[in-house]
Structure 1
Amino acid sequence: MADARTRGRGTWVSLAVGIAVSLACLGFIVQKVDLEEVRRALLRFDLRYLALGVLCLAFGYVIRILRWSKMLNAVGAHVRFRECAAPFLGSIAINNVLPLRLGDVVRALVFPISIGVPRSMSTSSLIMERLVDLMTLILWLALSLALSVQLETPAWLKETAVTLAVAGCLALLLAFAFSGAIARQLSSSTKRPIQAIVVLLQGFDAMTRPRVMAMLFGLSLLVWLGEAGLFYNLLLGFGFEATPSAAIVIMAIATLATLVPSSPGYVGPFHLAAFAGISLLGGTNEQAASFAVLSHLGLWVPTTLAGAVAIAAAPQMFKGLRRMRDQRVA
């Protein structure tokens, strides 16, 4: 009971901190802008570019689902693209509306049961997906900062991005290079927690084989190109003469900001990062605020709607919750 109370208190503290961070970020933006000018900037936006941007985003999410199915198959699960679509989109919608990235927890522990994937396999694929995404995003950021001549970025930021990209990739490769050896050392243990760790490490080992890793990075490049397409089209819709590299930098900064604790939907840190990105591009505070609002809506609304439709169409995904409850009772 004491442990449950402690966990519950920690959850509420985390949620309170996230909401406070969101309010602080939004408050900073609001006191910098004229809200009437923000409204006018939004009204001047060319909606045709929003439609093109959402198509680019949809392409990116198709590749995300394909990548997840490939990862699951690499660790021994036999699933098809269409079986992975509903669990993936449903978890994104849950992440968008509930705190503490609960959608990731549901995708790792609940939804896979409906498609016959063990939790250990889905968890290892989720961890790998997050790490590969992080490294790919940093690589895109470093490359785009080096190529972009539009953004007024200090030299130290470019050097930091390059250093993080190189160091991160090396650390990722080294960490998973030994996962198979560690799994073999621990495989003799009969303890359930140790066995769960062994399965995780075996999954990492399977997904870091050269051909699989090359495929994952290739698909990840396409994932972030699709998302960058949304940002690029939004820049054009606001009348900026932007280059794809500038759009990638703004996308990367805004996406990395979602790692900061915030309220559900990454409200606040995302907006402040997008605001800063447009400021680097030379836009006014009102243009920056307008872009931050529309880019967030352009990401949040389509993915939340798609996830809600996926959940409504496949309610059997939640049967894993019943199984988890039955196991606790047993």
Structure 2
Amino acid sequence: MVTIVDTLTRTEPADKAKPRHPEKAHRPDNPVQRKPAWIRVKAPTSPVYRETQEVVRQNKLVTVCEEAGCPNIGECWSKKHASFMILGDTCTRACAFCNVRTGMPGPVDPNEPEGIARAVASMGLDHVVITSVDRDDLEDGGARHFAEVIAAIRAGAPKTTIEVLTPDFLRKEGALEIVVAAKPDVFNHNLETVPSKYLKVRPGARYFHSIRLLQRVKELDPTMFTKSGIMVGLGEERNEVLQLMDDLRTADVDFLTIGQYLQPSKKHHPVMGFVTPEEFKAYETIAYAKGFLKVSASPLTRSSHHAGEDFADLRAARAARLGR
């Protein structure tokens, strides 16, 4: 029998049985809307899913798949795809959409790069996504740790391609340069939403700083693929999404992802509307017309979903555009 679930939950260890979002506790409860049929997912049950889970546990790793409550975890882990979250499981910011714990993070684990590399090698990953919490408490925002993780993977699994999904490194001079110098294959930084929604949805960030960060990656290394993503269903207007596409193309961003926002709990920003698959298809068509090499737009699209296949498409699209 196939079980359909509306949300994916996990049991917290006893030492983490504290409110995940104490800073959001003052928000009025927002009833979580029932999801339409097109974005419900199967509960994870496959043996390969359990194997992937065991590798993560043995290496004491944190995955954004679990921390963010990603609806695609069953599919991805059943294919031995996982996105690793470095620098701990506690974020220094309090974005209204995010399911990651907020608070004061602990010290950086110096053994984490080797643990990530072991997991990548044991899982035989062709492509890996490395992301992190925001670490505004660190002088470099965690940039050197990103570089160390990249270097460890290169040493332990040299054939694996690497995608990083970084914070904005706001007010961390020189941090971006450290990550780019480590030569990830894809540099991803998500805008998350349109600028008019930043004050409520992403209050600790600055929209045009994020645009400039992506533009700066291309200035430092024109050959590096750049990527960004947004959620829809947060109350944005269609023309705002189209302007965001233009802003990203001005920064020469190669790859755009657009997915449906799903409210993690009553304490989070409410879903203001569910975008239909037909509307997502229209966004995809427009984005390609604006010049993106790769576009992924669907209700269940997430930054790291199908990242390996998408990277292959990116390389092929660039080669075709260059006539190679």
TM-score scaled by structure 2?
Answer: 0.28
Greater relative contact order (Cα < 8 A, sep 6+): 1
**Counting strand residues as a fraction of each chain, which structure ranks higher?**
2
TM-score scaled by structure 1?
Answer: 0.28
